[in-house]
Structure 1
Amino acid sequence: MVTTDGTLLSFICLIYSFLIVSLLKKKAKLRPDIKHPPSPPAVPFIGHLHHLSPVIHKSFHRLAQQFGPLIRLRIGASSCVVASSAVVAKEIMKTHESLFTSRPKFGTPNYDIYDGYSFITVEYGHYWRFMKKLCMTQLLSSLQLDRFIHVRREETRKLLKSLVKSSKEGVAVDLGAELMRMLNNVICRMVMRARCSDSNNEAEECRKFGHGGFRTCWEIKKIVKLMKRFDKLVEEVMEEHEKKMKDGVRDAKDMMDVLLDIHHDQNSETKGIKNFIFEMFIAGTETSSTALQWAIAELINNPIVLRKLREEIKSSVGTSRIVQESDVPNLPYLQAIVKETLRLHTPAPLILRRCSEDCKINGFDVPKDTRVLINAYSVMRDPLHWKEPDMFTPERFQRDAEENIGQHQMDMKGLHLHYIPFGSGKRGCPGASLALTAIHGTLATLAQCFDFQVDNEGIDRTIDMEEGTRFTAAMKKPLICYPILRFRPL
């Protein structure tokens, strides 16, 4: 009897198994197999982590050369798709742009004391569109930038004064730190009319936020502490601005004034104001400072390029005054140098997107909610679009370079999908104009006024161009050099 019952139970289980398998096969026929992008060999639990080096965009670049321009990677329990060619970048940021207007959440939300008000990472929607329009029409418009031209001029002169002093004393300077200080002062004064390096302790705190924000972005406890300190500081600054507004004492509107006016008109949360200013310090200083350091390093390592730039400045500006922002449109070689620097050393090498619907990219399936990274480092070294892509050649952007006749017209807005230093499309960087204004003016002035030597013995040495591991693809070693005065600026 036992044997009979056991046989019957086994038979019933077999039938059920057959039915389940049949149903699964039927379901599989209804839903075609997903064709994922290719992946490198994976290891259990860690996935593809062993393929990655500390300079992650270079790791992605190397993997793309082995496995193709669109690859799928898994790091632990998370996965993402990495695009590494201009053709694939165009599919994501132009052909299917409407499906990739949002950015993925990364890290943990525990640090977000502003409860989803991040302009950089917020979902594409009403709030993001409102803030983008506000940036383009008021906060970062050409009119607003022109209002603070005197600020940039004054801060540039303070930088020159510091370098002249170091030149006379024959001491080396950390040029990266000097540039960071200058740009933080510019941002501080544009945001709230205060310099970061004066005796004002509150403004000095803002300098620390801009300098340290990227370095703590993956350390949750530190960034929570940083943001709480920042929140207290901005609250005090807002109260000061509010008081001046009530007393009728207000000069030309800074960013805080504009944001407070909008806040009163719409009776909105102050979290949005605080977070926008926080992101201005985080994104507005580190990236521009990084780009300037790479540009100066390239000029030191390429003396022929530096000589040609100085000849252009001398021809256009003369020898009796310092180059000004208004001279930049008449300095095409300067513009070419900046473009080439941003191509080779873009401060934000990885562009983050999230797919909002199932779609096909480069012939592969990209399911809804997939995290997508566009590797701008690879895109702007794509050999299909760039001759000798690893060479520093500003001439490729000049009008008279016949083999690259179209590239001189390349703008910074990402309309040409093989040149995307500020991203592209709706989620392109809204601060590009401010960054470029600062980079062009500062680089031209430094090239006009100083030589920079790696040591004080006059030995012809070059700058180490190795990249560090920070989020902004900064130089691994500080840019320490001796400024040698060649044109008296003051």
Structure 2
Amino acid sequence: MVVMIYYYYFSIAIALLSIIVIFLVTTTSRLIKKRPPGPWGLPIIGNLLQYDSTNVHVCLSNLSKKYGPLMYMKLASLPIIVISSARFAKEALKDNDVAFSGRPISSSLSRLSYDYLDISLSPYNDYWREMKKLIVIRLFSHQQVTSFRHAREDEVSRMIEEVSQQAKSTDQLVNLSKAAMSFSSCFISRVTLGKSFDETGFRKTRFQKLLQEIQAMKLVPFVGDYYPLLGWIDRLSGKISQLDKVIQDMDVFLQQLVDEHLSPNRPDYMDGDFLDILFQLREEPSSSVHIDFDNIKALLINIYVAGTDPTAATITWVMTALIKNPSALEKAQEEIRGLVGKKGRVDEDDIDKLPYLKAVVKETLRFYPPAPLLPKATTTRCNLNGYEIEPKTLVFVNLWDIGRDPEYWENPNEFLPERFLNSNIDFKGHDFGLLPFGSGRRRCPGFSLGIAQVELAIANLLYSFDWKLPHGVTEDDIDIDTEPGAVVHKKNALCLMAKCYM
């Protein structure tokens, strides 16, 4: 009798266990069918072992070649979708723009943006929409970008003079990577803060160092971002303390800049800079959002980081591409010098008359996008190519891969500026094979300011100097290795020989 009772309950237990197993297998199978294809991951850690954080865009590109241009992965507990073709980029960023308008969330990004008070990292919400509207109208309008023409031309002239001094030394190579970063830093600090890093004493401040520390902290992996219940490990390891110190140091420095601008005895050259305009927005009673000093500091970091790194990286990659492609370099110089003649410099009125120069910049943005991964996060459940994408899914749009998409580009692995001559393809976010500044609602609001810097700087570098490779170096010797980061700089500085043209 006892045996029969045990057998009865054992049979019920087996039956229940079988039902649970069948349910889990069926549910898992259904979920997998709804997801895009992707590499199998391990329990708990997912695909972390297949994720190369030092060269993410190339790593994801290699995986996408195997699993397709719409790929699913999981980094620990984080679901990820990787988009690697123009077709899927259009479906996500145009057809599902709102659903893909979120931003990744992490403990470091939250702290570094004053709890998402900026516009780069802020989630898609009413605050972001109103703040972006104000920023576009007041800081990055065509009129505002044009108003900084004198500052651009002045800083380009300063860069050309510095390169000229180096060129006059027959045994000295010009470090173009350093020159590009100096130019972009000086210009953006001038229009943002009213003064250039080259002015007395200001270069020695901690601003650049603090910004570099902030950029470095963005790359630090926090356990709590992957396993929320284990966030205490970050505090125990000292990462949280390190992050808090960087934030505190930056806040102290930014407050000094704020106090300097608020001083009644401030110099006239601060009138009309970005920080001054942000103060004006703070005082306007009709402003659609409340702006306090934390908002201003968060936006200041946004503007400075976005205005220096991508611009400097793009200038370096343009010159890298040209020195590796001598025929393109020769065509660009002939066009510029044929137009400008003996005037002595290229000014902004000349730029629109230089179609090949513009084609070179576009081709560089296709071939070497300064920010190769466009990070997104889904705000709602959506459908992409028949697959169900859950909300709060991290999305990487691989611009590096899209720029090499054979379905969109002819001869995608060749550097051919001619492809943009007599072509309507542009980088403003409507052509999904070329998205260096993003698309839709989250497109970079300051792209026109950055492009104006790049085109003027490149035009004058090509007009003013004849560029040659160092002795014994060939085009193939110029590497295209990159440093890890959201903006990919050339790992090894681009150093070339320069001879003054006039």
TM-score, with normalisation over the residues of structure 2? Answer: 0.87
Cα-to-partner distance string for 1:454-487 (whole Å, 9 max, x where unaligned): 32x4765552223333331221211122322223
Return the match for 1:293 from 316, 324, 330.
316
Please name the residue that 1:483 is paired with.
498
2:292 alignment partner AA: E
In 2: Cα distance, 1:136 partner to 1:116 partner: 18
Answer yes or no: is 1:442 the counterpart of 2:461. no
Whether the 8 Å CA contact 2:219–2:485 is kept in 1: the answer is no
Return the match for 2:279 from 228, 238, 260.
260
In 1: Cα distance, 2:336 partner to 2:244 partner: 46
Please name the residue that 2:424 is paired with.
409
2:246 alignment partner AA: L
Please name the residue that 1:59 is paired with.
59
In 1: Cα distance, 2:163 partner to 2:18 partner: 81
Return the match for 1:468 from 443, 462, 483.
483
Answer yes or no: is 1:75 the counterpart of 2:75. yes
Answer yes or no: is 1:238 the counterpart of 2:258. yes
Aligned-pair CA distance for 1:452? 3.0
Answer yes or no: is 1:36 the counterpart of 2:29. no
Cα-to-partner distance string for 1:180-202 (whole Å, 9 max, x where unaligned): 11111111111111111333347
Whether the 8 Å CA contact 2:374–2:396 is kept in 1: the answer is yes
Please name the residue that 2:209 is paired with.
208
Greater mean alpha carbon deviation, residues 261-270 or residues 285-294: 261-270
CA distance 1:148–1:389, change in 2 (3 Å): same
CA distance 1:222–1:324, change in 2 (3 Å): farther
Aligned-pair CA distance for 1:107? 5.6
Cα-to-partner distance string for 1:133-176 (whole Å, 9 max, x where unaligned): 12221112221122221111221111111111111123223221
CA distance 1:17–1:58, change in 2 (3 Å): closer
Return the match for 2:438 from 382, 404, 423.
423
In 1: Cα distance, 2:330 partner to 2:433 partner: 29
SS of residue paired to 2:46: coil
Whether the 8 Å CA contact 2:195–2:270 is kept in 1: the answer is no
SS of residue paired to 1:360: strand
SS of residue paired to 2:247: helix
Whether the 8 Å CA contact 2:101–2:376 is kept in 1: the answer is yes
In 2: Cα distance, 1:109 partner to 1:472 partner: 16
In 1: Cα distance, 2:102 partner to 2:337 partner: 46
2:99 alignment partner AA: L
Answer yes or no: is 1:342 the counterpart of 2:341. no
In 1: Cα distance, 2:310 partner to 2:174 partner: 20
CA distance 1:255–1:9, change in 2 (3 Å): same
Return the match for 2:348 from 325, 344, 365.
325
Task: Map 1:6-155 to 2 at 5 A.
Answer: 6-7=6-7, 9-10=9-10, 13=13, 24=23, 35-53=34-52, 54-106=54-106, 108=108, 111-112=111-112, 114-155=114-155
In 2: Cα distance, 1:132 partner to 1:466 partner: 35
In 1: Cα distance, 2:18 partner to 2:73 partner: 35
In 2: Cα distance, 1:193 partner to 1:435 partner: 18
SS of residue paired to 2:458: helix
CA distance 1:376–1:9, change in 2 (3 Å): same
Cα-to-partner distance string for 1:260-315 (whole Å, 9 max, x where unaligned): 11112255321110011112222211111011001011111112111111111122
Please name the residue that 1:402 is paired with.
none
Please name the residue that 2:381 is paired with.
358
In 2: Cα distance, 1:269 partner to 1:411 partner: 37
In 2: Cα distance, 1:37 partner to 1:19 partner: 27
SS of residue paired to 1:330: coil
Aligned-pair CA distance for 1:450? 1.3
In 2: Cα distance, 1:125 partner to 1:304 partner: 48
SS of residue paired to 1:244: coil
CA distance 1:227–1:450, change in 2 (3 Å): farther
In 1: Cα distance, 2:183 partner to 2:20 partner: 69
CA distance 1:159–1:213, change in 2 (3 Å): farther
SS of residue paired to 2:426: coil
Please name the residue that 2:229 is paired with.
none
Please name the residue that 2:300 is paired with.
277
CA distance 1:312–1:205, change in 2 (3 Å): same
Count of aligned positions: 475
In 1: Cα distance, 2:412 partner to 2:88 partner: 18
CA distance 1:233–1:84, change in 2 (3 Å): same
Whether the 8 Å CA contact 1:156–1:182 is kept in 2: the answer is yes
1:206 alignment partner AA: F
CA distance 1:277–1:463, change in 2 (3 Å): same
Aligned-pair CA distance for 1:109? 5.2
2:195 alignment partner AA: A
Identity, % of aligned pairs? Answer: 28
Greater mean alpha carbon deviation, residues 88-97 or residues 111-120: 111-120
Whether the 8 Å CA contact 1:196–1:205 is kept in 2: the answer is no
Greater mean alpha carbon deviation, residues 182-191 or residues 465-474: 465-474
Greater mean alpha carbon deviation, residues 54-63 or residues 43-52: 43-52
1:371 alignment partner AA: L
Cα-to-partner distance string for 1:209-260 (whole Å, 9 max, x where unaligned): 4555433422355554333222212211211222238x89676411111111
CA distance 1:414–1:8, change in 2 (3 Å): same
In 1: Cα distance, 2:212 partner to 2:449 partner: 18
In 1: Cα distance, 2:392 partner to 2:455 partner: 39
Aligned-pair CA distance for 1:342? 0.3
Greater mean alpha carbon deviation, residues 247-256 or residues 296-305: 247-256
SS of residue paired to 1:352: strand
CA distance 1:212–1:298, change in 2 (3 Å): farther
Answer yes or no: is 1:186 the counterpart of 2:187. yes
Whether the 8 Å CA contact 1:193–1:254 is kept in 2: the answer is yes
In 2: Cα distance, 1:248 partner to 1:473 partner: 37
In 1: Cα distance, 2:440 partner to 2:160 partner: 37
Stretches of structure 1 that go unaligned for 5 or more consecutive residues are 400-407
